[in-house]
Amino acid sequence: MEHLIDEQILDLQIKATKIRMSIIEMLAEAKSGHTAGSLGMTDVFTLLYFHTMKHDPKNPTWAERDRLLLSNGHICPVLYATMAHAGYFPIEELMTLRKFGSRLQGHPHREFLPMVETSSGPLGSGLSQAVGMAIADRINGGNKKFYVLMGDGENNEGNVWEAALLAGKEKLRNVVAFIDRNFIQIDGDTEKVLPMGDMAKKYEEFGWHAQEVDGHNLVELNDAINRAHAVANKPSIIIAITVPSRGVPSFEGDYRWHGNPPGGGPTEVVAKDKQKEVALAELQTTMDQLMALRK
């Protein structure tokens, strides 16, 4: 188990802020896409790609790499931005998001971008895919980790729970799933659309090791991943409590940013023609504060 030291935490926070800036820029350029979940899950993605996972951007098809499966594919801006900053493809390519002919479609497409593990879009598929991969890996004598990213609203889907049952029954200790518990979905509050109840308890009843942590606290997240890796005979679920649109205070907490880009979001706080500018300015303030700590 590798614990984070202060210098690593600061470096990861700086990377996360750069990734959030790229997310704002690419969504504003595309004039389409999902802001809230992409910004909200940036800390999780940053930790996975820059600290946790075994992977090689110079050899993206390396057979021994860990696998990351994005089930809620609509937050692909955070996947694309993190992979670009990790060196999988040029950061400049992010500006092609959702454009005709781009590799960076509105949902990830493996045939267009081979370093993406699976195509995603229809919600509820990612956990089933990970369970199948993990069983195959065990049959083949492998030792890979399978990290799955899901939304909380996505857990409305019945096939998520079918996969959870099978993973628990098969004691797939190499499956570590994250739920973005931001309490929003496109129609509003998750607890009003379809109440989720005690998600940790539900997964525990299905044979999982469950933890609930602050999805923006890198130390808590890292410690939770370490504990998940130490579990001998169960898959693990990490319920990450996040703030929608984290990092941009003017956008935070408003479910209407779920499916709107800067320039197309709600106008009560920031006018549409100022949304990109304000978001980048707020992120730059965070960056300046972090860089000051580095000196």
**Cβ contacts of 154 within 8 Å, gap of 6 or more:** 71, 72, 123, 124, 160
Q: What is the per-residue pLDDT for 52?
A: 97
* Residue 150: φ, ψ to 5°: -130, 160
Give the integer Cα–Cα distance in Å for 129 and 118: 8
b (16+ CB within 10 A) / e for 177-198: bbbbbbbbbeeeebeeeeebee
Give the integer Cα–Cα distance in Å for 123 and 258: 15
Token pair of 164 as six digits: 């959870």
Nearest to 118 by CA among 154, 160, 68: 68
Q: What is the per-residue pLDDT for 222?
A: 98
Residue type, 204: E
Q: What is the per-residue pLDDT for 289?
A: 97
Q: What is the per-residue pLDDT for 186?
A: 87
Give the integer Cα–Cα distance in Å for 225 and 32: 33
Question: The domain 6-294 is classified under which CATH number: 3.40.50.970, 3.50.50.60, 2.70.150.10, 3.40.50.1820?
Answer: 3.40.50.970
Q: What is the per-residue pLDDT for 205?
A: 97
CA distances to 46, 107, 117, 153, 235 from 110, in Å: 21, 10, 6, 24, 25
Q: What is the per-residue pLDDT for 294?
A: 86
Q: What is the per-residue pLDDT for 286?
A: 98
Q: First-to-last CA distance in the chain? A: 29
Query: What SS3 state is found at 18?
Result: helix
Q: What is the pTM of this model?
A: 0.97
Give the integer Cα–Cα distance in Å for 283 and 22: 10
Regions of the chain with pLDDT less than 50: none
- Residue corresponding to tokens 């106008």: 267
Give the integer Cα–Cα distance in Å for 269 and 157: 33
Q: What is the per-residue pLDDT for 1?
A: 55
Judge whether 93 and 65 are in contact, CB under 8 Å.
no
